[in-house]
Amino acid sequence: MFPAGADDDDDDFVPSSSSRLSSLFGSSTTSKSSNLKYVAPKQPRPERSDSASSGSGSGKNNSPSPGPQQSKTQAPAVLVATPVHAYLYVNSVAQPQGRVMCCVLGNYAENSFQLLLYRSKQDHLTRARIHHQFNFTVRKDF
């Protein structure tokens, strides 16, 4: 079914010893060593507390590390988030602010909760602390 010379086509894909394809890329030697080597990124070194307290004036932060009595406050977590239509009341007239995100932020360890209305990550409309006297009224759609 195939002609007898079909095996001749395989010779086209076998590299010959006289082929100098590497000369196209500026290398005339046929050595097997490659100039391409992977270098793994280095991990940042942790700052040592003894070098920071030496006071060498190298511009590092020389603030004391928090001790057991000075615990860092945890950032509040998002408890609930949903889009809402917000209105701004000026002289008993509701001015629509459009559709914004509303979320309840909370930190159970410190027992602090907040209500946040925002348009984007940088554009916060309001942030209110939720406490036992916080008055929140849900109204029907306008």
The reply to whether the predicted model has a pTM over 0.85 is no
| Model confidence pLDDT, tens digit, residues 80-128 | 999 999 888 899 888 998 999 999 999 998 889 999 999 998 999 999 9
Length of the chain measured in residues: 142
* Site of tokens 């290398």: 27
Fill in the DSSP letter of residue 51: H
What was the pLDDT predicted at 99?
93
- Strand (E) or helix (H) holding 128: strand 124-130
| Model confidence pLDDT, tens digit, residues 57-70 | 444 455 555 545 55
What was the pLDDT predicted at 101?
94
What was the pLDDT predicted at 113?
93
Quote the CA–CA distance of 76 and 107 in Å, as a whole number: 5
Choose among 117, 109, 100: nearest CA to 77: 109
DSSP 82-125: EEEEEEEEETTEEEEEEEEEEEEEEETTTTEEEEEEESSSS-EE
The residues that bridge with 83 in the sheet, in sequence order, are 101
What was the pLDDT predicted at 119?
93
The dihedral region occupied by 103, where left means phi > 0, alpha psi between -120 and 50, and beta the remainder, is beta
Task: pLDDT band for 141, please (50, 70, 90 cuts).
Answer: low
